[in-house]
Amino acid sequence: MALSKAELPGTPQHFLECGIEDCEGNCEFYCNLCHTRLCKQCRDEHLRSPETKSHEVVLYQQRKQQLPTEKCKIHPTKDIDLLCEECQIPLCSKCTATSEHRGHTFTDLESIYTEKFSHCQGEIAKIHEYFLPTSKDLQREINGDTKEIKKIMDNIRTSMKAEAESLKCMVDSVTSENMEEVNKIEESLLEKLNNQDTTIEKYITYLNDLDKKFHVYLSSLKPTKLLTAEEMQIQPIPETTKPLMPVFTAGRYSKDYVAKFMGKITFPNTKEEMRKVQPLKSKIPASYLKPTRYQIMKESQPTSSVKQILSLSSSVTKVRELKVPGVETVWHMSLDKSGRLWVSHIEGNLVQTDLQGNQLQKIKTSDGFGYHTMTQDGDLIFIDYKKKVINRITQDNNITEFIKTGDWAPISIHSSHINGDLLVGMVNSEEGKVTRYNKTGKELQNIQRDNKGQGLYSKPIYITENINGDICTSEYDKAVVVVNKSGQHRFSYKGQGSVFRPYGICTDVLGHILVCDSDNVHLLDQDGQFLSLLLTSPQVSNPISVCVDDENNLYVGQSRNNTVIVIKYLQSMNTE
């Protein structure tokens, strides 16, 4: 059987209505015999009617699939609706009377079709819930190991260069000391030789002077002069020593000897470990409305053994509608732990209401867009665009300046449900960025450009975080920009038409991304694949903001009035 339009991924979902003519109630039940959707009132009437009281009426989620119409090739006027158990071929009721099938056992083909249909749904669910995510986790782990290997090898190269530089420094130091010693020896030897040279120079002067005296005596005309002259003897030549020349003895080394100083790279003496793959622990129920991309198991109560399996529903059910006093439009919403709603509009009013629309608090600020968030501790954080400040309102209503953002003006903020970090979208006169702060306000990370150096943001007006740590932002008038927790660009979603103006954005427990574009609410999977339009006109008028509560209800705020619509778009089934 072909899936109906409402069951196909990528088509607008709608409020599932009762199939009885002129009834506008919400569908909750299904008649497997009539193949009719029923509300609670119509179900009661259906089971009271003499003609239909014996029909099998079940919850809509547990309905049988209607057998597609297929004509018998032997009897073209008859529909195929039976299965011959002996021959294992489908046939029509007229075929049962033929000699070929006389005495055989026949089974209702619709029951078998429903079973096979449900089995396929379950297998598809396994693929999308377990096999694909597990394989992608392995792929991410392999890619992570690739990056880790690159990092480790870079560190080893750095260490080797450091060892070489250290050895070079030691060689330079020893060489410098040796050179200094050589210089000192040379200076000492030259000084000694210089002293000897000076001594000999003085002795030569002495000899020259003596030589002159002797000539004077010889040239004298007075013999008495010579006779009376002192006895003159030549002093001996001063003793000098020949310097002892130093000798350089070369060091003894080899390549292996140097390698011992430099270290070497080795592998640990262990075997490679097999990558761990978590087993498929639980059977995926076959009674799905349609195959879904994601399902998760979550405890409905901490002490209960009953688990809930969540999946996308083929329809959207309206839970409630409320008007928020004190604001003209609902530009942004946050839910606190007690289930109360904080709402802001673009002119700066920040209002807290209960779920009946009763105003509890009102704060006047200077901004709009996605500029407030609830922390894990129950505090309200909001930004002041003009003052470039992030403020905190504690549960006792004290307002304090928490973070000053310097030259960057904050325009959107989100408190992580994973670790309590604050993710802040910011702008300056030229571009935008996302900054991560920890709980104490310490700056941890700045995300601004992709791996090609191109700017990721110009005006990130709304921001949120997915269950896998991805940071999702609405880039004003452009796209939904998603980066991983390390800041690496994963994908950008640019809508389904020529014009896409994303505004409010949030994620759910299945990792879906939900974003408004002022006309529709788009539903994406966590890899950016478009799944469907959850709400379209006239179901909602100019949706501008979204958030999800602990019961997996989606709150949708509107930009032309102060109305919030609450819908349920996920279904759950209990299993032991």
Q: Domain with 372 in it: what CATH number?
A: 2.120.10.30
* Within-domain flag for 309: yes
Last residue of a domain, one of 80, 113, 146: 113
Distance of alpha carbon 505 from alpha carbon 522, whole angstroms: 10
Distance of alpha carbon 411 from alpha carbon 367, whole angstroms: 8
Do 92 and 145 belong to one domain? no
Domain hosting residue 391, numbered range: 296-575
Q: Which residues of the chain fall short of a pLDDT of 50?
A: 1-14, 282-307, 575-576
Beta carbons of 25 and 327 less than 8 angstroms apart: no
Q: What are phi and psi of 101, to 5 degrees?
A: -115, 10
Question: Count of alpha carbons within 13 Å of 213, Cβ hemisphere only?
Answer: 13
* Within-domain flag for 289: no
Q: For residue 266, what are its two tokens?
A: 């080795």
Do 343 and 421 belong to one domain? yes
Q: Which helix (H) or strand (E) holds 225?
A: helix 223-228
* Within-domain flag for 123: no
Do 425 and 459 belong to one domain? yes
Do 453 and 565 belong to one domain? yes
Beta carbons of 513 and 472 less than 8 angstroms apart: yes
Do 301 and 373 belong to one domain? yes
Do 187 and 75 belong to one domain? no
The secondary structure of residue 127, as a DSSP letter, is I
Closest to 279 measured CA to CA, from 140, 133, 132, 130: 130
Do 429 and 491 belong to one domain? yes
**Which residues, in sequence order, are CB contacts of 200 under 8 Å at separation 6+?**
238, 240
Give this prediction's pTM.
0.50
Distance of alpha carbon 282 from alpha carbon 129, whole angstroms: 11
Q: Domain with 55 in it: what CATH number?
A: 3.30.160.60
> What CA–CA distances, in Å, run from 158 to 104, 153, 154, 165, 322?
80, 8, 6, 10, 62
- Strand ordering across the sheet containing 307-323: 296-299, 307-323, 563-575, 553-558, 543-548
* Within-domain flag for 174: yes
**Which residues, in sequence order, are CB contacts of 419 under 8 Å at separation 6+?**
none
Do 214 and 361 belong to one domain? no
Q: For residue 343, what are its two tokens?
A: 């709402």
Do 354 and 223 belong to one domain? no
Computed over every residue of the chain, the mean pLDDT equals 82
Do 143 and 71 belong to one domain? no
Instruction: Encode burial over 258-277: b for 16+ CB neighbours within 10 A, e otherwise.
Output: eeeeeeeeeeeeeeeeeeee
Do 90 and 204 belong to one domain? no
Distance of alpha carbon 324 from alpha carbon 354, whole angstroms: 9
* Within-domain flag for 407: yes
Distance of alpha carbon 508 from alpha carbon 528, whole angstroms: 14
* Within-domain flag for 549: yes
Q: What pLDDT does residue 386 have?
A: 85
Last residue of a domain, one of 79, 113, 147: 113
Q: How many domains does the chain have?
A: 3
* Within-domain flag for 288: no
Max CA pair span of the chain: 181
Q: What pLDDT does residue 4 have?
A: 41
Do 85 and 138 belong to one domain? no
Q: What pLDDT does residue 452 have?
A: 84
* Within-domain flag for 533: yes
